[in-house]
Amino acid sequence: MPSGSDSHPVPLLSQSQRLVTAPVTTDPETPLRAALGAAYDVRLLDRTTRRRTHLDTPDQRLREAGLSLTQLENGVLVGRRGNDVAVNQDAGPIDWPALATELPDGPVRDLVAGAASIRALLALATVETRSTTFAVLNSDHKTVARVGWTEGELVSPAARSLGIKVEVERLRGYAPEAKDVRRRLVAAGLDVADGEPWRDAVLTAANAGRPSGRRFGMHADQPGDLAVADALLGYLAELEASVQGVVDDVDTEYLHDFRVAVRRTRSVLKLLGDVLPAEHVGWAAAEFRWLGDITTPTRDLDVYLLGMDGMRAAVSRPDDLDPFGAYVRARRQEAQAELADALRSPRYATLTRRWRAALAEAITAPTNRPETAGDLARTRIEHTFTQVSRRAKAIKTSSPSAQVHALRKKCKELRYLMEVFRPLCDPVAYKRVIADFKELQETLGEFQDGEVQAAGLRDFAAAMMRTGETPVETLLAMGQLSAEFDARQQRARSELDAHHESYLGKKAARHLDTLLSPGVSA
């Protein structure tokens, strides 16, 4: 409910916020008076009907941060942190999804922008509410709180009743009284809202119908080919959950999630594909390689745009990079259009349809190979760990960059293998093994990013020079950045040479052995 600081009865909504007066189907005054007893009086303020659209990022970052965000029919945005007093601002019509940075300046944007970060805000669900608002008065006839009695109905994505919620709004200077009012209402058995009413119900409705990440629960003694096919079905579900966001270019994380699902699929096909029918694995590997190829240009350009603030901070005259930023955005627009066309193509539709059918066939008619899921987990993870460790020990200061990049790829494969078999792993050991590899992967990522981005900057500079329209200052700033990326690569190389034993040595091997012990070796 909107905030108020005075001690006089005032309407809950301002004139600009008030919508349609409508009757509430349940008389709330009698149960409120009964709950509050002789300590307080209640006075009717207003009755309203309004619609509110609940907003959050696709991965519900606002909810994780304890925030809620809704928009009223008249364009007013209402944000709240937990049980705090809500803040609101008039935002006008907004075409959702939208980034938080695209919202008008104001307290709501300030509240949610940090938590939402680079993810777009989506309209998850719409609720229609019929509210009666009362002032709660003490024995001195001072308003010490306001209480809203609200009946809710989910309008979209599916219509259903949400029941009744009671909200308590504290007023400045009367926090103890508001706490007492809330305590009395809860004691009377009324459903008092914590934060945004029905937010959990709304998010549950918004998540209904999303593809499931897994079809079956993995256990150590199930057939290995069934476990592998099940994992691949999960990655296909992740792919399909992201594809429309990629095509619509909602935010950059949809493409990132899509590419992760593709990489996981390719790694599983490479490391575990031999347990599946060979006639399916060959063409699937080629098609998922195609998906990796067509998504790479857009993602590479996203990396530059996402890092633009950091690059501006790294040069002496940040504004000199503006032409570079404009050039990358134009290139990205072209790459994104090509990517969207590819994902709308018959080839992509055929890939997903044929792959789903192939995996269903593998599940319903397994190959009856003798390996169990536990067998596969132990043998394949141990084998890949040995390969990673051997490659890491072989890298010297003089080793070529390609050797370091190959180690990074093999580390990713090991990570994906562990993710496939995580249900079979000891949870504590799993966290330890992941921690063992986290610094290594970050170091390897710094090394590759430094080399790739330095080379990319030089390519961009050459292409921009050919246009004959690039200021010299911009080219100099890009050269300064390229030198910084080269230095970052060298720092990462030094760290890798100094610490690879702690990343992949005896401690990591012990953790790995514990990881596979609980149900895998049975």
For residue range 207-237, list pLDDT tens digits in order: 765 655 555 578 888 899 999 999 999 999 9
ω into 97 cis (within 30 of 0): yes
Strand partners for 20? 49
Q: What helix, strand, coil percent values describe the chain, rounded to 5? A: 60, 15, 25
Across 45-49, 435-439, 458-462, least confident range: 435-439
DSSP letter string, 140-209? TS-EEEEEEEEEEEEEESS-EEEEEEEEEEE-TT-HHHHHHHHHHHHHTT--B-SSSTTHHHHHHHHHTT
Instruction: Pick 55 or 444 by higher pLDDT.
Output: 55
3-class state of residue 71 by DSSP: strand
Per-residue pLDDT at 170? 87
For residue range 116-159, list pLDDT tens digits in order: 999 999 999 999 989 999 999 999 999 999 999 999 999 988 88
Amino acid in the structure at residue 326: A
Q: Which of 217, 223, 219, 153 is nearest to 372 (CA)?
A: 223
For residue range 366-412, list pLDDT tens digits in order: 666 788 999 999 999 889 888 888 887 777 767 788 887 888 888 88
This prediction has a pTM of: 0.80
Separation CA 251–CA 309 (nearest Å): 17
Interval 163-171 mean pLDDT: 90
